[in-house]
Chains A and B, each alone.
Chain A
Amino acid sequence: MDDLTMLSEFRVEVPEPDAARLASTRARLVAGTGHAGHAGRTVGAGGRRKPFWNRPVLLAGAFGVVAALVLAFVRFGPTGDATRPPVAERYASTAVVLEQAALVAETRSTGSAPRPNQWQYSKVLDRQPNGDPGDRDHRESWIRYDGKQTAGYDEAGQVTVSDHPPDPGDDDLSPMRYAEKLRKLPTDPAKLLAHVRGDRHWVDYPVEEKSPKGEQVARAETPDERAFRVLSLYLQQQAVMPPKLEAAMYRALAQIPGVRVQLDVEDGAGRRGMGLFREYSDAMRTYFILDEKTYRYLGMRMVWFRDQYMGSELVTRAGSVWTVTQLASAIVDKPGQRP
């Protein structure tokens, strides 16, 4: 099958709209041509599905993506205090917790490096903020250590291996490349912080996007924001994380202004841990949740304190929660295999 044939089959199921579907659009044209029997704009009447970005399938590794969605297009409603948790939030000393995390991380043992043809398995629970109540999505995936193949379940429930490698241009790296990248980072906390304040990891982050006319679409990320975001992304690569570097990451985080630790933050699976977050907005908060004893990454939790609008449309209500929870992550020998 050649490429054009394949392309012609891609999204081929898109239906051609019937007259009923086009009626309101046609009415706009008729109104616009000045010969209306119909009045005004009737678009949006009846049965239109929610625009898909209202229900963004927010991706794991979310610190980049969501913040992007949030900063680029969005405004928030007025402050509402009703949605703050009824129970008082409890905070711990950032310096103490992160130093403790560093000390624990330093004692982790390093296993031998996986072989290139081994696989990194991960199981993630994703509960979207705008999904139906109880809506949850368990996703199991495998990526070959060298990134040459990925695997997951297809519609028929079969494990399917594909040759689509991660795209390094998007900093979507294979575990092996991540390991290489992490090995090159400084393990001195001050040097590491200086590095990540300018790290362009996930450079397609739309905050950096310029509109065709060249003006900045949204304000640029500050070095502190960037440092926190990049460290959060790196810390999720636990499978390939050198212990000394992990320790340095916690110590570097402790030096970023606005970083705080909230206790008893729940992940999507109901486990409670320490929620690391950086205060950047009174409208929402994103926690990076660590196990209280092992300081292993459990998942992320994003909460909305105020209604969030895109244009005039309410996209996420105050009180909404989005969680992406890491249920398992391990090296296995074959795709389809679980630890």
Chain B
Amino acid sequence: MITDAHSAETSDQTDDAELIRRSWDDPALFAALFDRHAPHLHRYVTRRLGDALSDDIVADTFLAAFRRRKGYDVTRRDARPWLYGIAANLIGKHRRTEVRCYRALARVGVDAVAETYAERVEARVSAAAAHRALAGALAKLSTGDREVLLLIAWADLSYEEVADALGIAVGTVRSRLHRARKQTRTALGGVDPTAFKEELGRG
């Protein structure tokens, strides 16, 4: 998706740091960073908040990143932690929406977030029991613990990258993740969740 004029300069070999540095003088190059990272960032945001909010959050993330590009630490070759960190703040503004959806899923088995992206959703299908339990656990995590857990599980960031993204120590990432996983496991019953299911005939 990058324009021909810039394709040579922004080939796969150019790392993010280099791209950002060059965008100081040539702002149009910043669009190449978008092409590289917007798809997975968009998916991550959609997974947390639903399809309706993700366009705005992704746009705002990149606009904020663009404005701050001169403060970017160019020793960090991969910009993903930086971008996810900016997005985390924007996602955080919708915390109530996010938690309300997890809670609704846990209670009644309807995933309002899934409804926003599915092509044809049988709107109120009952979700898998394990996902309901999981959603219940996610609703109860503290904001910071949930952020760490989902960056690890859904954004595929390493501990160091999560620390970088959220501006916290790696030790803090570990302890938050530990706490979050402990609570999640408890909610899942500490056993194979497929064992929760028990098929019964109608009537």
Interface residues of A (CB under 8 A from B): 1, 3-4, 6-8, 10-11, 13-19, 21-22, 24-26, 28-30, 32-35, 43, 48-53, 55-57, 59-60, 137, 139, 151-155, 157-164, 166-167, 169-170, 172, 204, 206, 209, 334-338
Q: What are the residues of chain B within 8 A of A51 when measuring CB–CB?
A: 50, 52-53, 116
Query: Once the chains bind, are A32 and B132 in contact (CB under 8 Å)?
Result: no
Q: For residue A209, which residue of chain B has the nearest CB?
A: B96
Q: What are the residues of chain B within 8 A of A139 when measuring CB–CB?
A: 108, 124
Q: Chain B nearest CB: distance from A187 CB in Å? A: 30
Contact of B4 with A by CB under 8 A? no
Q: Which secondary structure characterizes the binding site on chain A? A: loop
**Selected contact of A4 from candidates B130, B181, B199, CB within 8 Å:** B181
Interface residues of B (CB under 8 A from A): 1, 27-28, 30-31, 34-35, 38-40, 42-43, 46-47, 50-53, 55-56, 58-59, 62-63, 66, 96-97, 101, 103-104, 106-118, 122-126, 128-136, 140, 149-150, 152-154, 181, 184-185, 188-189, 192-194, 196-203
How far, in whole Å, are A102 and B140 apart by their CA atoms in the complex?
39
Q: What are the residues of chain A within 8 A of B55 when measuring CB–CB?
A: 24-25, 43, 48
How far, in whole Å, are A337 and B200 apart by their CA atoms in the complex?
10
Q: Which secondary structure characterizes the binding site on chain B? A: helix
**Selected contact of A7 from candidates B1, B56, B153, CB within 8 Å:** B153
Q: What are the residues of chain B within 8 A of A14 when measuring CB–CB?
A: 43, 46-47, 117
Query: Once the chains bind, are A29 and B59 in contact (CB under 8 Å)?
Result: yes
Query: Once the chains bind, are B116 and A52 in contact (CB under 8 Å)?
Result: yes
Q: For residue A27, which residue of chain B has the nearest CB?
A: B59
Q: For residue B33, which residue of chain A has the nearest CB?
A: A29
Query: Once the chains bind, are A33 and B28 in contact (CB under 8 Å)?
Result: yes
Query: Once the chains bind, are B59 and A11 in contact (CB under 8 Å)?
Result: no
Q: Chain A nearest CB: distance from B7 CB in Å? A: 15
Q: Which 6 A-B pairs have the closest CB atoms?
A: A162-B129, A51-B52, A35-B28, A33-B27, A7-B153, A28-B59
How far, in whole Å, are A224 and B125 apart by their CA atoms in the complex?
37
How far, in whole Å, are A150 and B30 apart by their CA atoms in the complex?
51
Q: What are the residues of chain A within 8 A of B132 when measuring CB–CB?
A: 162, 164
Q: What are the residues of chain A within 8 A of B51 when measuring CB–CB?
A: 48-49, 52
Q: For residue A217, which residue of chain B has the nearest CB?
A: B96
Q: Chain B nearest CB: distance from A126 CB in Å? A: 8
Query: Once the chains bind, are B202 and A159 in contact (CB under 8 Å)?
Result: yes
Query: Once the chains bind, are A49 and B199 in contact (CB under 8 Å)?
Result: no
Query: Once the chains bind, are B66 and A29 in contact (CB under 8 Å)?
Result: yes
**Selected contact of B126 from candidates A4, A34, A56, A160, CB within 8 Å:** A160
Q: What are the residues of chain A within 8 A of B43 when measuring CB–CB?
A: 14-17
Q: Chain B nearest CB: distance from A59 CB in Å? A: 6
Q: Chain B nearest CB: distance from A129 CB in Å? A: 14
Query: Once the chains bind, are B184 and A7 in contact (CB under 8 Å)?
Result: yes
Q: What are the residues of chain B within 8 A of A33 when measuring CB–CB?
A: 27-28, 30-31, 66
Query: Once the chains bind, are B28 and A30 in contact (CB under 8 Å)?
Result: yes
26 contacts between A and B (CB under 8 A): A4-B153, A16-B40, A22-B39, A25-B58, A30-B28, A32-B62, A33-B27, A33-B28, A33-B30, A33-B66, A35-B27, A35-B28, A49-B52, A51-B53, A52-B112, A52-B115, A55-B115, A152-B126, A160-B199, A161-B198, A164-B129, A166-B107, A170-B107, A204-B103, A206-B96, A336-B200
Q: What are the residues of chain A within 8 A of B115 when measuring CB–CB?
A: 52, 55, 57
How far, in whole Å, are A25 and B31 apart by their CA atoms in the complex?
11
Q: What are the residues of chain B within 8 A of A159 when measuring CB–CB?
A: 199-202
Query: Once the chains bind, are A1 and B97 in contact (CB under 8 Å)?
Result: no
Q: Chain A nearest CB: distance from B124 CB in Å? A: 6
How far, in whole Å, are A297 and B166 apart by their CA atoms in the complex?
50
Query: Once the chains bind, are A15 and B200 in contact (CB under 8 Å)?
Result: no
Given A49-B116, A57-B110, A161-B197, residue A137 in contact with residue B124 (CB < 8 A) = yes
Q: What are the residues of chain B within 8 A of A52 when measuring CB–CB?
A: 50-52, 101, 112-113, 115-116
Q: What are the residues of chain A within 8 A of B47 when measuring CB–CB?
A: 11, 14
Given contacts A13-B114, A29-B62, A159-B201, 18 further A-B contacts (CB under 8 A): A14-B46, A16-B40, A16-B43, A22-B39, A29-B59, A29-B63, A32-B63, A56-B112, A57-B112, A137-B123, A151-B200, A160-B129, A162-B197, A170-B103, A334-B200, A335-B200, A336-B202, A338-B203
Given A8-B154, A48-B52, A56-B112, residue A15 in contact with residue B124 (CB < 8 A) = no
**Selected contact of B114 from candidates A11, A29, A153, A335, CB within 8 Å:** A11
How far, in whole Å, are A172 and B109 apart by their CA atoms in the complex?
14
